[in-house]
Amino acid sequence: MYTFTILYLAVFLLNTSKQANTLLHLSKVSKKRIIVIGNVSVDQSFVAHKSFTKLVIFRSEIALLSVAICELSSFIAVWWLIFHFNACFDCSFIKTEKASIQQRANQPAQPILFSNLTLNITVLIYIVIFTLFTMLMRFTTRRICIIVIFWFAMQFNTITFEKSILPRPVFSRKSNSEPDYSVHIFYYMWYGNVAFDQFFLHWNHRILPHYNPLIASKYLVGRREAPEDIGSNFYPKLGCYSSRDPKILAQHMQWIRDAGIGVVVVGWYPPDASDDEGRPWDDAIPSLLDEANRWQLKVCFLIEPYKGRNGETIRTDIEYILQSYGRHDAFYKIPTNGISKPVFYVYDSYLVSNSDWQALLLTDGKNTIRNTDLDTLLVKRTDTDAILTTGFDGFFTYFASTDFTDGSKPSNWPDLVLFATRNGLLTSLSVGPGYVDERIRPWNGENTRSRCNGSYYEKMWKAAVDCKPTFVSITSFNEWHEGTQIEPAVPYKNENYEYLNYLPMEEDFYLKLTKRFIDDKSGFQKENDTKIST
């Protein structure tokens, strides 16, 4: 505040010093007394201090015009200094303080609320209006009008704040083309924090026991205590965020778009269901769709396992999703045999009986969706033995830990794609940057896969692209529990634990690496009109 006042006075005195004698002479000639308006309270969203420096206003019209010009030039000069020299003022929208990780855990650091251009234009409008009123109004009316003007200014800034906190979709020349819709990424909306959800969700994940009691007895049980102690071997750059936070959604979609990815595959539960660590989040899906659409992204659904899931409930799920979200511009569909159809991924499809899948997916099934308004493309985890008999339209491999399953072995991918091609099936080969889940499964070290500064990710990408699948799916954007995320992470340690990080690479290294792989890939099956056997 003091810095602003000193700069303001310095510039004002410099601009008015040469006119002082003239102004004094004019005031004497006109025999008008000098009117001083002092301590007019102004909101912080307009200036960086809580009161104006005293404004000297002469009732002589010529003198008044001169002072108004001085005021205008001094304001412009000071605002120019603020933005171009990054002066330190106690003003929340001019600077963004770097919050500690503990602060970011509950409330991520705020972005700059106005662009320089927007703010400068806004300020100039206020100044012009202020100048006109000081020229035309008498003293009492002028004081009232100034207060009213700045009250409206405060309200305008409040509205502008809400509309300006989200990053705008501004694409570089290189990214002006559409994102690659043959590249999908698994995305999870199950995170919560105190600021948005009253308590932490998923960041405080339980330590899961081994199914073998003898092995389980060797490890501690309990729950992580976010934000210092979280259920991940890495620590997110955005802290322990809430998936409901619109700023987080906007940042995530921007990162995904900048990486060249086209389709967000969101983990989904019915409106009244969730996993054991979270709570229902179907009500947040509209926000995801809207934000994805702003960034030219598409959204499809990964139907997660939930209590009571069977063929009938999945039919209900598909009907609900299509009715609720199927008409949204961001809802993902692909042309198949001349008809555009939605794509659904199904996680752990083996938990539903083959007979239920047959009733749902075969054309003569008693509960079939085929040749109905619910006809969609369902992709299950790799299981070549059952995929043909159950009526699925394709498969995905999901796991980022190579050799964890037959489907996650890149050496098996050529045969899988060949099998799919011969049988008219979709293929989604899943790649990941690494795998580590020892903060929630401390006994699972055998499946840990080091990132090797990106070389692990690169090898999986090359293996997938060489097979020419229908899609490449990335596991994942933000599955922090299993350490498969490409979302930016930061170095962090506390008294008890030092989290892994991407050093010596940058925080956004894996996003940039993904962009490079997408730009360099070639040979994917064309999505123009996929031939599917149904």
Please, which residues bridge with residue 472 across strands?
183, 429
Please, which residues bridge with residue 41 across strands?
51
pLDDT string in tens for the chain (534-residue length):
444 445 445 544 544 454 444 444 444 444 433 333 333 333 333 333 334 333 444 444 455 555 556 556 655 655 554 444 443 333 333 333 334 434 444 443 333 333 445 555 655 665 666 566 555 555 455 555 555 555 555 444 433 333 334 555 554 434 557 899 999 999 999 999 999 999 999 999 999 999 999 999 999 899 999 999 999 999 999 999 999 999 999 999 999 999 999 999 999 999 999 999 999 999 999 999 999 999 999 999 999 999 999 999 999 999 999 999 999 999 999 998 889 999 999 999 999 999 999 999 999 999 999 999 999 999 988 777 789 999 999 999 999 999 999 999 999 999 999 999 999 999 999 999 999 999 999 999 999 999 999 999 999 999 999 999 999 999 999 999 999 999 999 999 999 999 999 999 999 999 999 999 999 975 455 455 555 554
Question: Cα separation of 436 and 222, whole Å?
Answer: 19
Taking each helix axis from N to C end, the angle separating 2-16 and 61-85, rounded to the nearest 10 degrees, works out to 130
325 backbone φψ class: left, alpha, beta (φ>0; ψ -120 to 50): alpha
Question: Cα separation of 157 and 452, whole Å?
Answer: 47
What CATH number labels 182-210+237-498+507-520? 3.20.20.80
The helix/strand/coil state of 51 is strand
The helix/strand/coil state of 79 is helix
Model-level pTM?
0.71
Contacts of 211 (CB under 8 A, 6+ apart): none
C-beta of residue 60 within 8 angstroms of C-beta of residue 135? no
For the chain, the distance separating the N- and C-terminal CA atoms, rounded to the nearest angstrom, is 70
DSSP classification of residue 362: S
Q: For the chain, which residues make up each domain, given as ranges? A: 2-164, 182-210+237-498+507-520
Question: Cα separation of 11 and 78, whole Å?
Answer: 8
